[in-house]
């Protein structure tokens, strides 16, 4: 009877001991938003031990890998009943972070420079390329621009960029750069062939540094719309006055109507154009009846007016 009682007690104690070793399930991919990794991040079903700190988290916006050996060591120290299925088993821990890109930093610096007197239509370049940071995903703080120095004569600037770090403070980085003036230059959105008329919908504006814009580049869109190319023009390139002309209304070698009009009469005749002509151009035309060559003004498609009565007879 005593032996049976001792056996029951032993089984009870053994069962209690087995219960203390928790059967855990590995999480193979973990995302954390703090600077530590908890036991509950790595393993499911760990009960009250889930908030135990087991390792430092990777840097903001990066990831690290826990190997099978490291995972087994963590499980053993925590009293978990877990073994890796193979030596290749692993867990990938990713630290979330809010990316602050170079464009974000440039935008913030430009806003600070405008407050310091830089014209709003100017642009800036940074001396440091790929200037990016990560801020904690649950950190509501933003980057700050301080100690702004702007030199309008030398077109240079210097600022301090303060980025929130993990210690409730700010990392301070000096950033320098240059300032330049830009122009909105109209360029074609499609290729245009000779003889086609350029419409407003065929154009868009491209920002370019003023220093890089050639003197004969057309800036005023009104000097482009309604014109036609002298040659094939490709998309995306600035236009020059030499590239364009008014649409040809009278084509060389084509028949035209010669007309003479005054208060008392209007006389017409047929002619053959000896050269191309746009609206208002003076062109040479041969009267097909008299074979006489005259000059007239282009007033419309295949329409030329002349001033001398004998030229139309």
pTM above 0.75, yes or no: no
- Number of other residues whose CB lies within 10 A of the CB of residue 112: 19
Helix and strand counts by DSSP (H, E) for the chain? 4, 25
Please identify which residue in the block is written with the tokens 């087994």.
72
pLDDT tens for 94-150 read 988 777 888 888 999 999 999 999 999 899 999 887 788 777 766 677 788 999 999
Residues 232 and 198 in one domain: yes
Residues 8 and 71 in one domain: yes
- Residue 17: its pLDDT value, please? 42
- Residue 139: its pLDDT value, please? 65
Residues 11 and 89 in one domain: yes
- Residue 220: its pLDDT value, please? 93
CA separation, residue 208 to residues 16, 25, 148, 176, 186 (Å)? 77, 59, 26, 21, 10
Domains: count for the chain: 4
In this structure, what CATH number is given to the domain that contains residue 218? 3.90.1210.10
Q: Which domain holds residue 211?
A: 183-245
Extract long-range pairs of 34-43: CB within 8 Å, 24+ residues apart: 34/138, 35/166, 37/93, 39/74, 39/78, 41/93, 42/66, 42/71, 42/74, 42/91, 42/93, 43/75, 43/80, 43/82
In this structure, what CATH number is given to the domain that contains residue 292? 2.30.30.760
Residues 143 and 61 in one domain: no
Helix (H, G, I), strand (E, B) or coil at 123: strand
CA distance 135 to 147: 22
CA distance 70 to 92: 12
Beta strand ranges found along 48-191 (DSSP E)? 53-56, 63-66, 80-81, 91-95, 98-100, 122-126, 133-135, 144-151, 156-164, 170-188
Residues 149 and 218 in one domain: no
Residues 209 and 158 in one domain: no
Residues 122 and 207 in one domain: no
Residue 30 CB partners (closer than 8 Å, separation 6+): 37, 41, 42, 91, 92, 93, 94
Residues 204 and 172 in one domain: no
- Number of other residues whose CB lies within 10 A of the CB of residue 93: 20
Average pLDDT across the chain, whole number: 85
CA distance 178 to 207: 17
pLDDT tens for 204-258 read 999 888 888 888 999 999 999 999 998 999 999 899 999 998 888 999 999 999 9
> Parallel, antiparallel, or unpaired for β 303-305 and 255-261?
parallel
Choosing from 165, 180, 195, the residue where a domain stops is: 180
- Number of other residues whose CB lies within 10 A of the CB of residue 105: 22
Helix (H, G, I), strand (E, B) or coil at 171: strand
Residues 147 and 158 in one domain: yes
Would the pLDDT of 19 be above 90? no
User: What are the φ and ψ backbone dihedral angles of 24, each rounded to 5 degrees?
Assistant: -110, 160
Residues 215 and 265 in one domain: no
Choosing from 95, 111, 135, the residue where a domain stops is: 95
CA distance 286 to 305: 13
CA distance 17 to 13: 6
Residues 157 and 189 in one domain: no
Residues 10 and 91 in one domain: yes
> Parallel, antiparallel, or unpaired for β 43-44 and 53-56?
unpaired
Choosing from 227, 245, 263, the residue where a domain stops is: 245
């Amino acid at each position: 009877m005593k032996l049976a009682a001792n056996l029951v007690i032993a089984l009870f104690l053994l069962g209690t001991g087995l219960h203390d070793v928790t059967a855990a399930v590995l999480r193979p991919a973990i995302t954390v938003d703090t600077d530590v990794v908890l036991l509950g991040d790595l393993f499911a079903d760990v009960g009250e031990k889930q908030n135990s700190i087991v390792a430092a988290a990777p840097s903001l916006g990066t990831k690290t890998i826990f190997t099978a050996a490291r995972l087994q060591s963590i499980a053993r120290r925590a009293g978990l009943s877990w073994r890796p299925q193979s030596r290749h088993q692993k867990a990938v821990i990713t630290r979330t972070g809010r990316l602050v890109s170079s464009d974000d930093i440039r935008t913030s610096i430009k806003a600070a420079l405008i407050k310091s007197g830089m014209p709003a239509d100017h642009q800036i370049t940074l001396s440091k390329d790929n200037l990016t940071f990560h801020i904690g995903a649950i950190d509501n703080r933003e980057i700050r621009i301080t100690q702004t120095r702007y030199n309008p004569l030398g077109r240079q600037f210097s600022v301090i960029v303060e980025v929130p770090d993990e210690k409730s403070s700010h990392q301070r980085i000096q950033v320098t750069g240059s300032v330049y003036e830009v122009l909105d230059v109209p360029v074609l959105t499609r290729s245009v062939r000779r003889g086609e008329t350029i419409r407003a919908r065929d154009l868009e504006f491209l920002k370019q540094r003023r220093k890089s814009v050639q003197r004969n580049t057309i800036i005023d869109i009104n000097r482009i719309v309604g014109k036609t190319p002298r040659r094939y023009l490709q998309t995306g390139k600035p236009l020059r006055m030499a590239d364009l002309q008014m649409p040809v209304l009278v084509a060389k070698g084509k028949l035209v109507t010669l007309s003479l009009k005054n208060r008392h009469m209007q006389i017409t005749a047929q002619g053959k154009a000896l050269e191309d002509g746009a609206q208002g151009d003076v062109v040479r035309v041969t009267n097909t009846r008299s074979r006489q060559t005259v000059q007239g003004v282009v007033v419309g498609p295949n329409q030329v007016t002349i001033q001398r009565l004998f030229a139309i007879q």
